[in-house]
Amino acid sequence: MTKEIRHWVDGKEFTGSGRDTAPVTDPATGEITGRVQLASADDTRAAIASAKAAFPAWRDLSLTKRTRILFRFRELLEQRKPELARLITAEHGKTLPDALGEISRGQEVVEFACGMPHLLKGAMTENASTSVDVSSIRQPLGPVAVVSPFNFPAMVPLWFFPVAIAAGNTVVLKPSEKDPSASIWLAELWAEAGLPPGVFTVVQGDRTAVEELLTHPDIKAVSFVGSTPVARYVYTTASAHGKRVQALGGAKNHMLVLPDADLDITADAAVSAGFGSAGERCMAVSVVVAVGDVADRLVPLIAERAAAIKVGDGTRSCDMGPLVTAEHRDRVAGYIAAGEKDGAAVVLDGRHVQPDGDANGFWLGPTLLDHVTPTMSVYQAEIFGPVLAVVRAESLDAAIGLINANPYGNGACVFTRDGGAARRFRHEIEAGMVGVNVPVPVPMAYYSFGGWKNSLFGDTHAHGAEGVHFFTRGKVVTSRWPDPARGGLNLGFPQND
Ligand code: NAD
């Protein structure tokens, strides 16, 4: 039996026009477990109309009442997250502990958004001019859209919608069609938490739904996360239609290792960050840049650890699950073949993995390529799979130069015991999220998440202060109350007196 995954509009499931459906697969078995509806432009317009209708009442609900719903949502999420983790594993393939981990990181954004009354406090200046007071306030935008990728079906939407909703906006989420069930689960949880219908809406679908969200005049802002070509397109299209846009794109995250680093700790970090979630993380480390002779000592330590990773069904006690689709697995395997052909040394070859799982799953084991150079496709492409490349650099200067020449700038980290070198790395490296002896430097919810260069289009990162800024607009109010003692005409330009 395959399940039908529908939209969520007006606080309930919504069956669209039935334009088309797409298969949803369990990557650990290769079995089609569901069919997700693909919204037509009309379906998407119906969802936007619902979000628009819900906006005035939601905006006008007191902050106390809005925030109480956020607290209830947080409590329900905390109690019931194992259910959500199972849904994620069944459609994405990542292990259950990893799925729980992504939910917990998303939950931290809900907790941050519970503090919205504090975050929305404005400023007030009394007597800026005689009897004139000035105050600043921030107000919600209206209906906003969130378009999310397959690799974090819960966490990435949770980077945005708690902040947007707490600030008084209504949200239309278009999740990835590859793992859509988490979005409906979250919508049901919102309903249980008491969120009014229309404040959180889900439109399932593909490019057709996204096009409508990017161009519809009633959508005031777009938060997108996905691959760089689509992020660039979303940014240019939605901003040309007058919307504010934050479009987070792909990545190629480098780990710079200096010869003085603790190599056991560094090898543990490289393996965890390179192969966690089968490398399908935008903050995965995909390139180790080894300075001097450190590669000769480090590569065997990484290879030994990577070879011990247990690959298999995410519901069993494995370390790493399958890739999301058969096509993606084949594409990643194709990069390994290209790297080999280009002269990289295949130290560990994931194409021969023996998984603990169904033979029809989309398996690929950890792969380690040494002697990779920047001209190889395996270096240039965002592979988004369990492939770790080792590039050798002569010096810290050369390593920083190589990393900064890469078109992506999401995350970067350095492993060293030298504080001066780490400080220089932090200062000079062109990436939005930097780790010092931390391989996956994902910012806490009260900081903001986002990269530089081709990893983010727009100027605003997700959650934290930048998230609040993105989902609100400022207003400055200058007021004078008539004072019978100070009347009379004055046609001169207002001056501060
Ligand atoms: P994707 O770009 O294929 O899809 C992302 C979303 O855009 C999906 O909802 C999809 O339906 C929609 N979409 C796809 N093609 C479209 C098109 N032509 N026009 C309009 N919409 C379209 O990305 P994915 O494969 O789902 O996710 C993996 C990518 O996301 C990787 O590149 C990864 O680095 C990136 N990612 C980035 C971050 C970050 O924070 N920078 C976080 C997670 C994932």
Q: Tokens for 212? A: 């409508």
How high is the pLDDT of residue 282? 97
Backbone conformation region of residue 453, classed left if phi is above 0, alpha if psi is from -120 to 50, else beta:
left
0.90 surpassed by pTM: yes
Torsion on CA atoms 255, 411, 431, 443, rounded to nearest 10: -130
Selection from 113, 31, 32, 107 nearest residue 68 by Cα: 113
Provide the β-strand partners of residue 73: none
How high is the pLDDT of residue 488? 77
pLDDT in tens, 166-180: 999 999 999 999 999
Q: Report residues whose beta carbon is within 6 angstroms of any ligand 1 atom.
A: 147-152, 156, 174, 176-177, 206-207, 210, 225-227, 230, 248-251, 282, 382, 384, 410, 451, 455
How high is the pLDDT of residue 489? 82
How high is the pLDDT of residue 492? 84
pLDDT in tens, 412-450: 999 999 999 999 999 999 999 999 999 999 999 999 999
Q: Is 167 helix (H, G, I), strand (E, B) or coil?
A: coil
Q: Measured from the CA of 227, which atom of ligand 1 is nearest? A: 32
The structure tokens 């329900």 sit at: 76
CB neighbour burial string for 150-174, b if at least 16 within 10 angstroms, e if fewer = bbbbbbbbbbbbbbbbbbbbbbbbb
Q: What is the ipTM of this complex?
A: 0.99
Q: Tokens for 51? A: 């979000």
The answer to whether the beta carbons of residues 50 and 235 sit under 8 Å apart is no
Q: What is the DSSP letter of 233?
A: H
Q: Measured from the CA of 149, which atom of ligand 1 is nearest? A: 26
CATH topology of domain 253-436: Aldehyde Dehydrogenase; Chain A, domain 2 (3.40.309)
Through-space distance between the first and last CA atoms of the chain, rounded to whole angstroms: 76
pLDDT in tens, 114-166: 999 999 999 999 999 998 999 999 999 999 999 999 999 999 999 999 999 99
Parse the chain into domains and list their residue ranges. Answer: 3-249+455-477, 253-436
The answer to whether the beta carbons of residues 417 and 438 sit under 8 Å apart is no
Kindly report the number of other CB atoms within 10 A of residue 75's CB atom. Answer: 12
3-249+455-477 in CATH: which number?
A: 3.40.605.10
The catalytic site residues sit at 282
Selection from 236, 206, 243, 241 nearest residue 222 by Cα: 243
Which stretches of the chain score pLDDT less than 50? none
pLDDT in tens, 293-327: 999 999 999 999 999 999 999 999 999 999 999 99
